[in-house]
Structure 1
Amino acid sequence: MAEPTGDRAMPDDQNRLTYAATAAAAAAPPPLAPATLGVKDRTGLGIALMCATSLIFAFQDAFSRLLGSEYPSVLVVMIRYWVFALFVIAMVSRQPGGLRRAVRTKRPKTQILRGALLVVETTLMVEAFVRLGLVGTHAIFTAYPLLIAALSGPILGERVGWRRWLAIGAGFVGILIILNPGGTELNLGAGMAFLCALLFAIYGLLTRHVSRDDPAQVSFFWTGIAGAVTVTVLGIRQWEWLAPVDWIWMAILCVLGIASHWLLIRAYELAEASALQPFAYTQLVWVSFIGVLVFGEVLHMNVVIGAAIVVAAGLFTLWRARVTANRLRSGE
């Protein structure tokens, strides 16, 4: 039996939302939405690039944790955003219409809000890395697709089918298993990680909302520029010069950020978002290895089990979205 029609999303909107979600899962602003070529024999290359991107994102998070343990998180994010803003300007300048077109938005307040939300989410993510560790933070953050599905009703006025509500419920059971309430003292970082997932879910839904009026080029520009302005206002008072060796780590972090976003853009030029999204979860595997081997984090069994449940539930919601989108295309 098909789910209610209110559970459907337009294919382009769903792809843009999935695309934005993939990028921001790494706590970094998303690149341009894909111009999918639809060439089936290039999907494998797109998947390979997505896996490589997820690996680079994992190393980004490791450097963010390293720097975040020595400096204010907002300072680390501010410098990253300054470099990212230059990257945004360079990328958008090459698009049709250039910067003049990118500035023109029909929803300036929402675009500014998106950029501000992502700055707060990114800053909290770095702080969570320091307090909770890479493994625990990402295990909780993987709940964001479930939060997107749950909030699509109150924010976008959509109905979520009963199958996806079951998946959402299962995912939150997984979160409880990760948190293990009563078994251990809850870490403030766990609350920050969940808040990051919630903020990013709202950001993703707002991205979907503005995509109805603004092309991806415009949203990409405003994400980077509004974010850079916001984080500068919030963080400039905490400015301090980094130690010489830490400037090296910061430079590597920024280079990794540019490289990962360029690879992500290329991946989405080669394959559809629905085919690539599942492979974004490989980042959880990479950060687990880095967290354990580099930072000495402990991979508790409840985290492994809970994260597996959350990922499975998230993949199910993505699969249901793809099924309903395909049904729309076929006219059923």
Structure 2
Amino acid sequence: MTEQNTRRGIALMIAAVFVFALQDGFSRHLAGAYSVLMIVMIRYWAYAGFVTLQAARRPEGFRAAIRTAHPVLQLARAALLVGEICVIVWGYTLIGLIESHAVFAICPLLIAGLSGPVLGEKVGWKRWLAIGIGMAGVMVILRPGSGVFTLAALLPLAAALMFALYSLLTRLTSRRDSSFVNLFWSGILGAGMMTALGLPLWEPMTGTDWVLTVVYAALATFGHWLLIRCYATAEASAVQPFAYLQIGFVSVIGILVYGETLRPEVVIGTIIIVAAGLWMLWQARSEQSPTLQSRTT
């Protein structure tokens, strides 16, 4: 049964990152034609509608389903996620999908490094080595001092840092709040923030772009649903390595749809970052395996 659930979890993770890659392809087009804040606002409206509908259907009742023990942390989480989405989408329009995702791949390593100061977890030398190797991969991609480096290339790195902090705050809130409570408040509070930021920048849209926007919002919602089902089906450590497939999916979209080029430095840097991330995941599972064995004997 466990093996079957793990296989299903892997399939759900692959489906989720594929949907997220499609979503990113739509966001690159829409944010290039309209205000980034307006496009992200519409996405959040769909997200908020989805979690509100889910809350209304919860067996424990709406109010009980959304009750949080960490209102301040929920606000901070929502602000970080809003900032991350806006910054990474802005990065798509300036440096493209491929380079943005290549740099953003450092995120799991940043989470590991920041887990010490934020959560008080022990970060051993093996994790720090993986983080250092990953940052070297980022430097290969960004090429500072090469004459072609621009500040826009730092946008995905800033987005990765914000998402890492968001993920760590999610761990904190998860000690007393359920995964659904975290999902609900990030959607509702984020929608409120984005409405305040995006509504003043509203622009008329063509009929075609309205269709694309509806599809974009639907993909974002569907991707979140797949991810929820994925983590409910299998352990995160078993499915997390397959999240890196999003880089491949995004690269295909970037090349075929937007005519982006796959620079050798980006390929090399991405391989370094992903290898460091996978090595860190393998080390974490190796450290846990003796404990798991002792519990089953």
Q: TM-score range by the shorter chain?
A: over 0.9
Residues of 1 paired with 2:45 and 2:151: CA distance?
28
DSSP 3-state at the match of 1:178: helix
Partner of 1:78: 41
Q: Which runs of 4+ in 1 moved over 4 A?
A: none
Between 1:136-145 and 1:103-112, the stretch displaced more is: 103-112
Match among 117, 122, 142 for residue 154 of structure 1: 117
Alpha-carbon offset, residue 183 of structure 1: 2.3
Aligned 1:223-242 pairs, distance under 5 A: 223-242=186-205
Amino acid at match of 2:75: I
Partner of 2:144: 181
Which of the two has greater helix per residue?
Answer: 2
1:319 partnered with 2:290: no
DSSP 3-state at the match of 2:11: helix
Alpha-carbon offset, residue 213 of structure 1: 1.8
Partner of 2:206: 243
Match among 271, 287, 292 for residue 250 of structure 2: 287
Partner of 1:165: 128
Amino acid at match of 1:106: A
Number of equivalences: 295
Is the 8 Å Cα contact of residues 55 and 66 (structure 2) preserved in structure 1?
no
Alpha-carbon offset, residue 310 of structure 1: 0.5
Is the 8 Å Cα contact of residues 31 and 90 (structure 2) preserved in structure 1?
yes
Residues of 1 paired with 2:58 and 2:294: CA distance?
33
DSSP 3-state at the match of 1:68: helix
Partner of 1:32: none
Residues of 2 paired with 1:98 and 1:228: CA distance?
22
Alpha-carbon offset, residue 153 of structure 1: 1.1
Residues of 2 paired with 1:149 and 1:167: CA distance?
9
TM-score by length of 2: 0.94
Match among 87, 109, 114 for residue 124 of structure 1: 87
Residues of 2 paired with 1:330 and 1:212: CA distance?
25
Is the 8 Å Cα contact of residues 92 and 99 (structure 1) preserved in structure 2?
yes
Partner of 1:21: none
Alpha-carbon offset, residue 121 of structure 1: 0.7
Alpha-carbon offset, residue 230 of structure 1: 1.2
Between 1:226-235 and 1:169-178, the stretch displaced more is: 226-235
Partner of 2:12: 49
Check 1:217–1:151 CA distance in 2 against 1; reply closer, same or farther (3 A cut). same
Check 1:189–1:327 CA distance in 2 against 1; reply closer, same or farther (3 A cut). farther
Alpha-carbon offset, residue 286 of structure 1: 0.7
Unaligned runs of 5+ in 1: 1-37
CA RMSD of aligned residues (A): 1.6
TM-score by length of 1: 0.85
Unaligned runs of 5+ in 2: none
Query: Quick one: percent identity of the two aligned structures?
Result: 48
